[in-house]
Amino acid sequence: MDSRTAKELILAGIWYVILSALALTLALPLVWLLSTSLKTGGQTFLMPPKWIPEPFVWTNYSDAFKAVAFHEYFWNTIRIVIFATIGAMLTASLAAFAFARLRFPFREPLFLLVLSTIMLPSIVTLIPTFIVFRTLGWIDTFLPLIVPLWFGGGAFNIFLFRQFFMTIPLELDEAARIDGANNLRIYWGVILPLSKPVLATIAVFAFIHNWNDFFEPLIYLQSPENWTMAIGLRGFQGLYHTEWNLMMAASTAMIAPLLVLFFFAQRYFVSGIQMSGLAGR
Amino acid sequence: MKKGRGLLWSEARDGYLFILPWILGFIIFTAGPMLASLYISFTRWEIVTPSVWVGGAQYVKLFNDDRFWLSLYNTSYYVFIGVPLHLFFALLAALAVNMNLRGIHFFRTAYYVPSLTPVVANSILWVWIFHPEWGLANAFLEWIGLEGLYWLQDPRLAKPALIVMSFWSIGGQMVILLAGLKGIPMELYEAASIDGANWWSRFWRITLPLLTPALFFNLIIAIIGAFQVFTQAYIMTEGGPSYSTLFYLLYLFRAAFENFRMGYASAMAWVLFVIVLTFTAIQFMLSDRWVFYEGDVRR
């Protein structure tokens, strides 16, 4: 259909105006964030606000990083992400392999049980879990944020893996089985090497989860040297709550890595989110 | 499902071995703690003192606690006003970017990006946006000739302000709904166009009915999530002003981790669990009536 009528062009024009207006509205808070993060203290208190800082105070960022140990919080978060994600990937993919590829009694009810735990409000298990970790002496260590993920890796990840495994032709398993491979070998040698997209999706989401999570680190991590980025930013707010330029610089530092990750791993974001929408089917 | 091959003992054994970590996790981190928290909710226990069985006393205390009802009201306000509006705007955004226009990818990205901001950073940013003297929100109001508001300092406005803030991150739901829209077969629209249906009736007769599974699922997940709203209130308002943003989870958190009333907090957790469960069940029952599952017969 090459012949576009004038009416279609006008409609497209109106559509672009609506789209741009919405994009501008949603972009404003981020522009405001960046703009404030580069202002002098005095310039943050202007009404109507000045959008372009004068001068650009890049030292706000170094000042914010000097004020609290964000580099430590960063490495703490990364360490939690790495150890939690390895456990989640291993145990969730193992379970998903069984649910997608092997037949055993009560497979369907057990999988339903997995799905139903996605809906469970985590608060109902929080207090006893906290007490168990406290009894084990794990409070103020990373273990409460890592160890649970080595036990099934989260119901949603099992679901993601299973969905993906079901798209891999069963003939591959059969061929490997004829060659004498056992189930563990099929899982490790046939299925996992084909599952890089879903592994990447889960890694990306694990990073986002640990980067953003506030409630659990708030409960389990007490001394500042163990804080994650989220808790560290909260601590920073407690100390510098009137210095908006510094607070915006620190907030930008917390947001920026996620945006960088998004632009490098966009397709894994999209596939993961879309899968989460399909969980209801 | 193929029923040709009988169940193999070795296959069943491997199946259970492979899901063993999950089964252990389910027992240790889900089923066990659930039962334990139910038990704790029938005791009085401040961690350092030994626990005392008090029967249903915590629940009686809870139901006579004005602050409990207030936190439930605040949370319900946030859930039942915030979630449907949020979903509505996400749907509008999804419809807006579901066009084959040049550069539409840019708009999809632009709408999605704000939902990536971590809730702590997001909360701090919005305290600044809602700042009564120097904030962006009031700058905008004054620019269009209105008076500035005490967004987070006025008990009547604090909850609406948090809801407005939540609209900034409609992008996550937008992407899910967009996937739903993309899943609607083009032939349906083509057939309807041939029959002379306009955009409006195509939307009501094709788009909306076929999108209901995605809408419905998002609604449930968003409601369950919103019942557990915490961080915004913890960071932005500390439950105030005048307890107007004392949400359920914030009150529970204070009972458990500031006052160490584990019995009371566990009773609260179970009440929330029952509420969420009931609500999910109602949603599922209603869904039979208004959710149209397209070709969902792959069994």
- The answer as to whether B37 is a domain residue is no
Residues of B in contact with A33 (CB under 8 A): 125
- The answer as to whether B47 is a domain residue is no
- Cα–Cα distance between B263 and B254 in angstroms, integer? 13
According to DSSP, residue B56 is labeled: T
Number of domains in chain B: 1
Q: State residue A79's pLDDT score.
A: 93
According to DSSP, residue A225 is labeled: G
- Cα–Cα distance between B288 and A18 in angstroms, integer? 36
Q: State residue B2's pLDDT score.
A: 44
Evaluate if residue B105 carries a pLDDT over 60.
yes
Evaluate if residue A116 carries a pLDDT over 80.
yes
Three-state SS for B43? Answer: strand
Structure tokens at A87: 């456990």
In chain A, the residue whose alpha carbon lies closest to the alpha carbon of B142 is A48
**b vs e for B13-48, b when ≥16 Cβ sit within 10 Å of the residue's Cβ?**
ebbbebbbbbbebbebbbeebbebbbebbbbbbeee
Q: State residue A144's pLDDT score.
A: 94
Residues of A in contact with B114 (CB under 8 A): 26, 29-30
Q: Which of the four pLDDT bands, split at 50, 70 and 90, describes residue B225?
A: confident
Q: Do A105 and B12 touch (CB under 8 A)?
A: yes
Q: State residue A59's pLDDT score.
A: 87
Q: State residue B290's pLDDT score.
A: 53
Please tell me the distance in Å from B156's CA to the nearest CA on chain A: 23
- Cα–Cα distance between B150 and B137 in angstroms, integer? 10
Three-state SS for A195? Answer: coil
- Cα–Cα distance between B188 and A137 in angstroms, integer? 61
- Cα–Cα distance between B251 and B253 in angstroms, integer? 5
Q: Which of the four pLDDT bands, split at 50, 70 and 90, describes residue A148?
A: very high
- The answer as to whether B207 is a domain residue is yes
- The answer as to whether B13 is a domain residue is no
Cis peptide before A109 (omega within 30 of 0): no
- Cα–Cα distance between B181 and B193 in angstroms, integer? 17
Q: State residue A4's pLDDT score.
A: 62
Evaluate if residue A114 carries a pLDDT over 70.
yes
Structure tokens at A217: 């680190």
Q: State the average pLDDT over residues A118-133.
A: 88
The helix (H) or strand (E) run that includes residue A25 is: helix A6-37
Q: Which domain holds residue B241?
A: 60-118+168-290
Please tell me the distance in Å from A24's CA to the nearest CA on chain B: 9
Q: Which of A26, A123, A254 sits opposite B114 (nearest CB)?
A: A26
Please tell me the distance in Å from A140's CA to the nearest CA on chain B: 14
Helices marked H in B78-157: 83-96, 104-112, 119-129, 136-143
Residue spans of beta strands (DSSP E) within chain B? 43-44, 52-53
Nearby residues of B297 by Cβ (< 8 Å), 6 or more positions away? none
Q: What is the pLDDT of residues A70-103, one digit of tens each?
A: 889 999 999 999 999 999 999 999 999 999 999 9
Q: State residue B298's pLDDT score.
A: 33
Q: State residue A281's pLDDT score.
A: 36
For the domain made up of A68-239, the CATH class stated in words is: mainly alpha
Beta pairing partners, B53 = B43
- The answer as to whether B255 is a domain residue is yes
- The answer as to whether B74 is a domain residue is yes
Residues of B in contact with A184 (CB under 8 A): 14
Q: What pTM was computed for the model?
A: 0.88
- Cα–Cα distance between B287 and B221 in angstroms, integer? 14
Instruction: Report the percentage of chain B scoring pLDDT > 70.
Output: 93
- Cα–Cα distance between A150 and B163 in angstroms, integer? 36
Evaluate if residue A151 carries a pLDDT over 80.
yes
HSE-up of residue B16 (Cα within 13 Å, Cβ side): 8
ipTM of the shown complex? 0.86
Matching residue, tokens 């999209």: A270
Ordered by start, the domain boundaries in chain A are 6-63, 68-239
CATH number for the domain including B74? Answer: 1.10.3720.10
Evaluate if residue A279 carries a pLDDT over 50.
no
Q: Which of the four pLDDT bands, split at 50, 70 and 90, describes residue A275?
A: low
Backbone phi and psi for residue A245, each to the nearest 5 degrees, phi listed first: -65, -40
Q: What is the pLDDT of residues A208-235, one digit of tens each?
A: 888 888 999 999 999 999 999 999 999 8
Q: Do A119 and B34 touch (CB under 8 A)?
A: no
Nearby residues of A31 by Cβ (< 8 Å), 6 or more positions away? A51
Q: What is the pLDDT of residues A6-17, one digit of tens each?
A: 888 888 888 899
- Cα–Cα distance between A87 and A22 in angstroms, integer? 41
Evaluate if residue A3 carries a pLDDT over 60.
no
Q: Do A255 and B121 touch (CB under 8 A)?
A: yes
- The answer as to whether B216 is a domain residue is yes
